[in-house]
Structure formats: C-alpha cells, structure tokens
A and B are shown apart, each in its own frame.
Chain A
C-alpha cells in the first residue's frame, strides 16, 4: 500500500523539491503551505509521516507539532522537521514537542529517503 506524506513548507520551491523526491520514490504527497494549512489537511487525511519546516507564517512548525501530537491519530505518527535552523536550543524544543527527527536544509534526496524509510519502514 502506498504511504502518504504530508509535506509542509511555505517555500514553493522546497515543496516542489520534496514532492519530486518523494513521488520519485513511490510515496503519495500532500502539500501544505504553513502550519494551519497542514493542521486542516491532517484533520481531513490520514498520513503516514509529516515532514515540516519550522519558520512559517500563520502557524510555525513547532506549534503544528504540538497540536498534531494532541490528536489521537497523530500521537505515534513520525514527524520530521526539515528546516534551516540548526541550533541546539531549537532542536531541544522540537524534541520536547515530540519530533521524531531533525533535518537541516538543504536536504540531500538520497539521505532524506533513507531517513524516511527508516522511520516509516
């Protein structure tokens, strides 16, 4: 069965590069432009993994993470952060909010697929 990934980023080019990489590997991809959009889509679709940026308008990635973890069907879903931020303080916040992993941009498509494969099997 095809696995679905929710890709959240306010940058259109990043969304396109992520989608291109994931679709090429056989995943279904749902795109969201910010945390609020992602939350709306997460309520509507059930996904196997969320890949989200941090710095976004309306709702940032940490808030999204926090709200998703409160939803019963997202408690155990892997949520990966894909961001330009690489500071330990931010990573600690992400970890505390329930992130599964932290990837610093720019991502390498092969490594991204390896990590995703590892966390969703």
Chain B
C-alpha cells in the first residue's frame, strides 16, 4: 500500500533505505492513503447529492407539467362543449388535434415515471461502491500495519506485497454486500406474482 502510493518519493534512496520504512513514514503514508479513500468517498457522495438534487428538480418539473397537461386537457374539453352547438367545424377540428396532443403528452409523462426512478438505482449503486471502497481501504491499511509490525517491510518483496493486495481485493469482493442493482438500463423490470 505504502509503496503503491509513494514510489516517486522513494527513488532517491539507497537500496537499504528503499526497503525500510520507519514508523513515522508508515503513519504518514497510512494517513495519505486514508485521505485518498476519504476523498473517493467524498466524491461519490458528491455525485449522490448532485443526482438527488437533479431528481428532486425533475420530479417537481414533472408534477408541474403533469398538472398543466391535465388543466390543458380539461380546457380543451370545455371549449369543445362550447363550440359544439355552433357546429363550428374548423374549431372542432382544431380541438380534436389539441386532444391528440394532450393525450400524447400524457403518454410521454407516463413513460417519464419509469425514467425518473433512476435516482434510486444510482443512490443504491453509489452506496454499494462507497462501501466497497471503505472495505478495501480497511484491508490495505491492515497490510500496511502488518508490514510495520514485522519490523520490516524491508524484508518484504514487492511480489509479496502484490499478493497481499490481491488477497485484500479478493477479500473485499467476498465480504462486500450483494450488489443491490444489476439493471443496465431504465427498461421496466420483471413482475412476478406468487
């Protein structure tokens, strides 16, 4: 872990120094790694906030458009009733076209209900990813701590560290909670009655 994050820093050292990390360096690099993972989580939270904010605004817009559409629909019906006794064909034709438009808007709004559920899927996926990042951080920090306890990351080969990191990733994968969202698009989901 430490080596991954600090290969650049270590270039100027002698070979003996290269493989030995004192406690202070370990602590500093752990903090660095921690901050790095905290930043990733912070960015995931930021994405979540932006998505939630966008969804809230879209839902408000949706409700407003829906209300206006209903009102427009009612208005067309009322005008149709007023125009009917006169038998004004051009007006009736126009109103009929308006009704077709109103129906089309209603259909589109219904479809928007399905699409507007994306916020929930995104939030759940972000929470899942954030959880995985946190678990990976814990595992990598553990490897780092173990290296210092052995008094010698000095004696560890790069290969061994790579192996431990691979093990940590595998452990994180195994311990991660089940992925809550597998959908790849916003098509309607399955329905099953028991």
Residues of chain A touching chain B, judged by Cβ–Cβ distance below 8 Å, are: 9, 11-14, 16-17, 20-21, 55, 84-87, 91, 95, 99-111, 115, 118-119
| Inter-chain contacts of B178 with A (CB < 8 A) | 87
* Alpha-carbon distance A83/B71, docked complex (angstroms): 33
Given contacts A20-B113, A55-B124, A106-B114, A13 and B56 within 8 Å (CB-CB) = yes
Given contacts A13-B117, A17-B113, A55-B124, A106 and B191 within 8 Å (CB-CB) = no
Q: Is B188 within 8 A of A107, CB to CB?
A: yes
Q: Is A95 within 8 A of B56, CB to CB?
A: no
| Inter-chain contacts of B121 with A (CB < 8 A) | 84, 105-106
Residues of chain B touching chain A, judged by Cβ–Cβ distance below 8 Å, are: 55-56, 59, 63, 66, 110, 113-121, 123-124, 178, 180-183, 186-194
Minimum CB–CB distance for B148 against chain A, Å: 37
Q: Is B59 within 8 A of A17, CB to CB?
A: yes
For B110, B114, B116, B121, which residue has the most chain A Cβ atoms within 10 angstroms?
B114
| Inter-chain contacts of B191 with A (CB < 8 A) | 101-104, 111, 115
| Inter-chain contacts of A107 with B (CB < 8 A) | 113-114, 117, 188-189
| Inter-chain contacts of B55 with A (CB < 8 A) | 13
| Inter-chain contacts of A119 with B (CB < 8 A) | 193
- A13 CB contact (under 8 Å) in B119, B124, B192, B194: B119
- A16 CB contact (under 8 Å) in B59, B186, B192: B59
Q: Is B190 within 8 A of A111, CB to CB?
A: no
* Alpha-carbon distance A41/B188, docked complex (angstroms): 29
Q: Is B120 within 8 A of A11, CB to CB?
A: yes
* Alpha-carbon distance A51/B175, docked complex (angstroms): 30
Minimum CB–CB distance for A51 against chain B, Å: 12
* Alpha-carbon distance A95/B63, docked complex (angstroms): 35
| Inter-chain contacts of B190 with A (CB < 8 A) | 86, 102-104
* Alpha-carbon distance A13/B63, docked complex (angstroms): 11
Using A20-B63, A106-B188, A107-B114 as known contacts, list a sample of 12 further A-B pairs with CB atoms less than 8 Å apart, ordered by residue number in A. A11-B119, A11-B123, A14-B117, A84-B183, A84-B189, A86-B190, A101-B191, A104-B183, A106-B115, A106-B121, A106-B183, A106-B189
* Alpha-carbon distance A85/B181, docked complex (angstroms): 6
Q: Is B120 within 8 A of A14, CB to CB?
A: yes
Minimum CB–CB distance for A91 against chain B, Å: 7
Which B residue sits closest to A11, measured CB to CB?
A: B120
- A84 CB contact (under 8 Å) in B115, B116, B181, B192: B181
| Inter-chain contacts of A85 with B (CB < 8 A) | 180
Q: Is B118 within 8 A of A20, CB to CB?
A: no
Minimum CB–CB distance for B128 against chain A, Å: 10
* Alpha-carbon distance A99/B59, docked complex (angstroms): 29
Minimum CB–CB distance for A17 against chain B, Å: 5
Minimum CB–CB distance for A111 against chain B, Å: 6
